[in-house]
Chain A
């Protein structure tokens, strides 16, 4: 890609025209909105359950166990059964709790987790909206979840909850920074903040002077590593689960929560795994593209991954979901392998390692972009 083209791409930011979504029904705004909401909710409620089941089984086998085996074939309906159980449980609110804040905190945490799915492209044409500031939106909305966690920790009137909530706040602030810096590097290379635009930019990115197509994973392997670690920390997944830290804080900010509210927090965590993985797929793994440089069957357009027929759309969605499962598997794998960090190690790792490295990554990408 020549500098002139890059300049054009950069200029394109100014006159952004969103890529059309297949979820639009004619010109009807309301019908389209209903369909998009249905798709987003379906993804939000189903994919995290699949990921949760995968986590149960992978953790089980990595620990020489079988994992759930009773509910459904090979325990595949275990999380459905868990959900039904949570609904039946008594909804307890501690007498000293700040009742309103306590009640709405799980919602404050969960709603942003749903909203992220609005902009995530799951396949060619399968996205809610193609925002011009898609990446910014995704990272910004995702940060609101922190508020819900902090509210829950504060309102529980429990010292474990409070410490958990404060740890969560400190951790999310610390890791937000390398996460965003790594994301900026991708946006810089792609020349757009639109998530669909970033996928398109990856399908048309070639090693300078050659015809070899590459995903951003390869030039930005450092950025991918930073983003992956920071994403695990953002989600408070082990080995970065100090806000929950069962052995120290009972269950951190979730200690006082029961029943459906607890289930909402848990769903937020697993939906967060899915949305963060989907974001990494878009930023580093070429979105729904099967392999770098391989045109999608039944597709045309830019990089041969747009304007697809039914086969192309189905395959694209399958590829995206497959990559998401792969990344969530990596998160589970790390969870079973590594012990929890100490709170000071966590902060030190972010501020003294990840932030400088992400700044270095940003500088490299900026210089490279200027050179080529």
Chain B
């Protein structure tokens, strides 16, 4: 019993520990009153994006508890182009997850190759009746609204392909609209200014894209003169060209931005919510989480609509041209309409099983195998049938 401190000190230290703890904040979470702040990857409930489901059955087969029930039927899709084969497609009839069996391993979400299953942090779906824990397709689709957006990309990361394409397209449209507006403005001032200057300025914004294939001749020549290999000189010259072009485009954009300060950024921030929708959903008795998710979606939708309207307004700056173009488009469509005969792809021929005897015989005679002859003859039969139908319609 060799202790360094005198007897009784430990008892006082103990009292010190408890009294200090008393004035520290408690760690208790007042759960039903204050909802927990769950991490975004919380495994609360599994949501189904049924539009994405191809009934591949991977989830159902991988499920260790066998708690995913899928029913489907097949539909025939006519060939996309003439001479194509009719395809069959699986159509989802029933998708149900029995959360009374589910052990929240997440394998189904993991294996889904088509982004149809997601984790949602929503967890308040306990029931008094075990049958009600079987969530059918509709309910699983509703959980989709509570799925948080994917985590933000790292700083400087490439935008996802589809997003990048959309942004680029929007940028191009905006640039074009701006260029048009600038041209109009210049056209008005043309009487005062020299036409050559106007042409040069107008020609510049015509190519807003940087083509990577070209090389900067100046750099290339210089590098060759320095004794670099042709290969290196070419690649460096290419880079130099892209850099220069970008610099030029940036300057140009800055000039235009200075000319048209009203032009808005076409980006939509996803983090905000639409208060109106949120209030309405809360009033309808939806959970706060669901209301927030839906309100976010509503906000993004509204913002997009606004941006589109603004873009149209910007386009409206050249009030003379835009409606004319639309009108001509309509006129063209009107002209095309009467002559537009029904395409073969649009016609459905029932009964793909039959064969065209004539084709079959000819193929057999030419030494093809029975199998190939049969399939080709089938195709020929379908083609013929279609032709017949089209002819009949044409006569009518």
| CB proximity of B22 to chain A, nearest CB, Å | 5
| CB proximity of B143 to chain A, nearest CB, Å | 30
- B22 near A62 with CB under 8 A, answer yes
Check: B271 CB closer than 8 A to any chain A CB: no
| CB proximity of B343 to chain A, nearest CB, Å | 70
Q: Which residues of A contact B22 (CB under 8 A)?
A: 58, 61-62
Cα distance A60–B14 when bound, in Å?
16
Cα distance A62–B23 when bound, in Å?
8
Contact digits for A253-272, partner B, Cβ 8 Å, 1 yes 0 no: 00000000000000000000
Q: Which residues of B contact A66 (CB under 8 A)?
A: 26, 28, 30
- A69 near B30 with CB under 8 A, answer yes
Residues of chain A from 33 to 52 with CB closer than 8 A to chain B in the complex: none
Q: Which residue of A58, A60, A336 has the most chain B CB atoms within 10 A of its CB atom?
A: A336
Cα distance A60–B26 when bound, in Å?
8
Cα distance A66–B25 when bound, in Å?
9
| CB proximity of B72 to chain A, nearest CB, Å | 49
Check: A63 CB closer than 8 A to any chain B CB: yes
- Across the interface, name the chain A residue whose C-beta is closest to B15: A337
Residue of B14, B24, B28 near A338 (CB, 8 A) is: B14
Cα distance A17–B15 when bound, in Å?
44
Q: Which residue of A62, A66, A334 has the most chain B CB atoms within 10 A of its CB atom?
A: A62
| CB proximity of B40 to chain A, nearest CB, Å | 27
- B18 near A336 with CB under 8 A, answer yes
Q: Which residue of B14, B18, B19, B26 has the most chain A CB atoms within 10 A of its CB atom?
A: B18
Q: Which residues of A contact B21 (CB under 8 A)?
A: 61-64
Number of residues on chain A facing chain B (CB within 8 A)? 14
Q: Which residues of A contact B17 (CB under 8 A)?
A: 337
Check: B157 CB closer than 8 A to any chain A CB: no
| CB proximity of A73 to chain B, nearest CB, Å | 14
Cα distance A58–B19 when bound, in Å?
9
Cα distance A333–B16 when bound, in Å?
10
Check: A89 CB closer than 8 A to any chain B CB: no
Check: B340 CB closer than 8 A to any chain A CB: no
Q: Which residues of A contact B23 (CB under 8 A)?
A: 61
- Across the interface, name the chain B residue whose C-beta is closest to A334: B15
| CB proximity of A295 to chain B, nearest CB, Å | 33
Number of residues on chain B facing chain A (CB within 8 A)? 14
Contact digits for A42-86, partner B, Cβ 8 Å, 1 yes 0 no: 000000000000000010111111100100000000000000000
Check: B11 CB closer than 8 A to any chain A CB: yes
Check: B27 CB closer than 8 A to any chain A CB: yes
Residue of B19, B26, B30 near A333 (CB, 8 A) is: B19
Cα distance A60–B18 when bound, in Å?
11
Cα distance A233–B14 when bound, in Å?
19
Cα distance A64–B14 when bound, in Å?
15
Cα distance A334–B17 when bound, in Å?
11
Q: Which residues of B contact A333 (CB under 8 A)?
A: 15, 18-19
Q: Which residues of B contact A65 (CB under 8 A)?
A: 26-28
Q: Which residues of A contact B11 (CB under 8 A)?
A: 337-338
Residue of B18, B27, B28, B30 near A337 (CB, 8 A) is: B18
| CB proximity of A354 to chain B, nearest CB, Å | 15
Cα distance A38–B14 when bound, in Å?
42
Cα distance A115–B27 when bound, in Å?
42
Residues of chain A from 332 to 370 with CB closer than 8 A to chain B in the complex: 333-334, 336-338
- Across the interface, name the chain B residue whose C-beta is closest to A61: B22
Residues of chain B from 1 to 24 with CB closer than 8 A to chain A in the complex: 11, 14-15, 17-19, 21-24
- Across the interface, name the chain B residue whose C-beta is closest to A57: B22
Cα distance A62–B26 when bound, in Å?
9
- Across the interface, name the chain A residue whose C-beta is closest to B33: A69
Residue of A62, A63, A338 near B19 (CB, 8 A) is: A62
- B18 near A64 with CB under 8 A, answer no
Cα distance A333–B12 when bound, in Å?
11
| CB proximity of A357 to chain B, nearest CB, Å | 14
| CB proximity of A176 to chain B, nearest CB, Å | 24
- A337 near B24 with CB under 8 A, answer no
- A64 near B27 with CB under 8 A, answer yes
- B24 near A64 with CB under 8 A, answer yes
Q: Which residues of A contact B28 (CB under 8 A)?
A: 64-66, 69
- A61 near B26 with CB under 8 A, answer yes
| CB proximity of B205 to chain A, nearest CB, Å | 66
Cα distance A338–B16 when bound, in Å?
12
- Across the interface, name the chain A residue whose C-beta is closest to B17: A337
- Across the interface, name the chain B residue whose C-beta is closest to A339: B14
Q: Which residues of B contact A60 (CB under 8 A)?
A: 26
Residue of A58, A64, A334, A336 near B26 (CB, 8 A) is: A64
| CB proximity of B21 to chain A, nearest CB, Å | 5
Cα distance A334–B11 when bound, in Å?
10
| CB proximity of B284 to chain A, nearest CB, Å | 28
| CB proximity of A65 to chain B, nearest CB, Å | 5
| CB proximity of A339 to chain B, nearest CB, Å | 9
Q: Which residues of A contact B30 (CB under 8 A)?
A: 66, 69
Cα distance A175–B367 when bound, in Å?
115
Cα distance A58–B26 when bound, in Å?
11
- Across the interface, name the chain B residue whose C-beta is closest to A336: B18
Cα distance A164–B364 when bound, in Å?
103
Q: Which residues of A contact B27 (CB under 8 A)?
A: 64-65
Q: Which residues of A contact B24 (CB under 8 A)?
A: 64
Q: Which residues of A contact B14 (CB under 8 A)?
A: 337-338
Q: Which residues of B contact A63 (CB under 8 A)?
A: 21
Contact digits for B103-116, partner A, Cβ 8 Å, 1 yes 0 no: 00000000000000
Q: Which residues of A contact B15 (CB under 8 A)?
A: 333-334, 337
Cα distance A334–B15 when bound, in Å?
7
Q: Which residues of B contact A337 (CB under 8 A)?
A: 11, 14-15, 17-18
Cα distance A305–B22 when bound, in Å?
36
Contact digits for B13-53, partner A, Cβ 8 Å, 1 yes 0 no: 01101110111101110100000000000000000000000
| CB proximity of B164 to chain A, nearest CB, Å | 50
- Across the interface, name the chain A residue whose C-beta is closest to B27: A64
| CB proximity of A277 to chain B, nearest CB, Å | 18
Q: Which residues of B contact A58 (CB under 8 A)?
A: 22
Top 4 A-B pairs, shortest CB-CB distance:
A66-B28, A62-B18, A337-B14, A61-B22
Residues of B within 8 A of A (CB): 11, 14-15, 17-19, 21-24, 26-28, 30
User: What are 9 A-to-B residue pairs whose CB atoms are below 8 Å?
Assistant: A61-B21, A61-B26, A64-B24, A64-B26, A65-B26, A65-B28, A334-B15, A337-B14, A337-B18
For the complex with contacts A61-B22, A69-B28, 19 further pairs of A-B residues with Cβ separation under 8 Å are A61-B21, A61-B26, A62-B18, A62-B21, A62-B22, A63-B21, A64-B21, A64-B27, A65-B27, A66-B26, A66-B28, A69-B30, A333-B15, A333-B19, A334-B15, A336-B18, A337-B14, A337-B15, A337-B17
